[in-house]
Structure 1
Amino acid sequence: MFTGIIEEVGEIVEVNHAGDFCAVRVQARDVLNGLQTGASIAVNGVCLTARLAAGNSFTAELSSETLKRTSLKKLSAGSLVNLERPMRADGRFGGHIVQGHVDGVGRIRAFSRRGDDWNLEVEFPESGDRYIVEKGSIAVDGISLTVAQVTPRVFRAAIIPHTFENTNLKTARPGDLVNLEFDVIAKYVERMVRAG
C-alpha cells in the first residue's frame, strides 16, 4: 500500500521491449535506500516489482496487462517518473490509500499557473464518473490529490508549489497521459450499495 506522497522523481534510463513485455531501468537515489530485489515500488502510481536494485538504479518489468492499462507504455529514456516505496506499518499516513492498481488513463486538458499554485484539469474515462467527487481523493501518476471541482468527464485539482516542485508535474503539458487511481473507499462503498 502507498500514500500518494511522492518520495522522489526518478529518470528512465533504459527501455527494452520484447514482444508484449517490457523492462525499464530507473535511475534514482532516495528510494534505493533499503530497496531489495522483489520489493514493491510505485512508478507513476503503478505498483511494480523491483527486479534488480543495484548502484543508482533499479529494473522493473512491465507485463502486457500493465502496458495495456497504464500510461507506462509511453515511457522512453529521459522520462521523469514519480517514485514511492510502500508505506511502512509504523509510518505516518500522509495522503490517502493508494494501492498502485490503475483504474484508467486520463489526459491533461489544461495545466496553468494561478498565483502561487497551479490549476490541473484532467479528462477521465467514463468509469470514473461514480468515484470522482468534489473534495474526494484521487491519485494522478501516483500523486495524492484532492479534487477541487468535477464537471462531466473532467476534474480539476489545485497543485501547491511543493507538489509541483517535487513530482513530475514540473514537466507536465496539456495532452499528456496520466495514470488515474480512484479512491478505493469510494469503490468499496459503491460495490456495497450496488449489492444491496
Structure 2
Amino acid sequence: MFTGIVECTAKVHQLNRDKNNLHIILNNPFSNKEIKINQSICHNGICLSVMNIYKKTYSVVASEETLLCTNLNFLKIQEEVNLERGIILHERLDGHIVQGHIDTIAKIIKIENRNGSYLFFFRSKKKLDHMVIKKGSIAINGISLTIITSNQYVFNVSILPFTYEKTNLHLMKVGDIVNVEFDILGKYIKKLIQKSKYSSSSNLD
C-alpha cells in the first residue's frame, strides 16, 4: 500500500523483453540497505516487486496483464519513473490510499501554466462513470492529486511547483500517456451501490 507521495524518480537503464514479460532495470536512488528482494515499490503508480539488486541498479518485471492495462509499453530508456516505497503504518498518511493497481490510462490533452501552478487536462481511456468527483482523490503516475473538474472522459488537476519539479510531470507533454488509479473508497462504494441495485431488481422479479 502507498500514499501517492512520490519519494524520488529513477531513470530506466535497460528494457528487456522475455516472452510476454518486460524486465525493467532502473538506476537505484536508494541505498542497497533501503530496498530488498521481493519488496514492493510503486513505479509510476504500478506496484512492482524488486527481483534483483545490483551495485547501482535494480530490476523489476512487468507481466503481460500489467503491460495491457498500464503505460509501460510506452516506456523508454533514460525515461524518468516516479518511485514510492510501501507505507510505514506508524507514519502520517499525507496523500491518500493508493494500491498500485492501475485502473486505466489517460492521455494529456492540455497543459496550462497558471503563473505559479500548472493545470493538467487528461482524457481517460475508460469512461469515468462517477469514479471521479470534484475535490476527490486520484493517482496519476503514482502521484496523489485532487480533481478540479471532470466529465465522462476528461478531468483536470492542479499541480503545485514542488510536485511538478520533484516528479516526472515536468517532463510530460501533450500526447503523453499516464497511469490512472481511482480512489479505492470510491470503487468500493460504486460496487456496493451496483450490488444494491441488482438485489432490488431481483426482488421485483
Look up the equivalent residue of 1:55 and give its one-letter code.
K
Per-residue Cα deviation, 1:10-47 (whole angstroms, up to 9, x for no partner): 10010001221110001131375521011000000000
Q: TM-score, normalised by structure 2?
A: 0.92
Q: What is aligned with 1:173?
A: 173
Q: Deviations over 1:56-112 (max 9, x none)?
A: 221000101111110011112111100000001111101100000000010001112
Contact 1:31 1:83 in 2 (8 A): no
1:158 to 1:33, Cα distance in 2 relative to 1, 3 A: farther
CA contact (8 A) 2:127 2:153 kept: no
The Cα of 1:174 is off from its aligned counterpart by 0.5
- 1:108-187 superposed matches below 5 A: 108-187=108-187
Please give the alpha-carbon distance, in whole angstroms, between the structure 1 residues aligned to 2:157 and 2:167.
15
Structure 1 portions without partners, runs of 5+? none
Unmatched 5+ stretches in structure 2 = 197-205
**What's the TM-score once normalised by structure 1's chain length?**
0.96
The change in CA–CA distance for 1:32 and 1:189 in structure 2 (over 3 A counts) is farther
Preserved contact between residue 8 and residue 31 of structure 1 (Cα < 8 Å): no
Q: 1:54, CA displacement in angstroms?
A: 2.8
Matches of 1:120 and 1:28, distance apart in 2: 29
Structure 1 match to 2:190: 190
Paired residues, number: 196
Larger Rg: 2
Aligned pairs for 1:43-62 (under 5 A) are 43-62=43-62
Contact 2:104–2:126 under 8 Å retained in 1: no
**Aligned amino acid, residue 109 of structure 1:** I
Q: Is the 8 A contact 2:136 2:147 kept in 1?
A: yes
Q: Secondary structure of the equivalent of 2:34?
A: coil
Paired residue type of 2:156: R
Further displaced range: 123-132 or 176-185: 123-132
2:76 counterpart residue number: 76
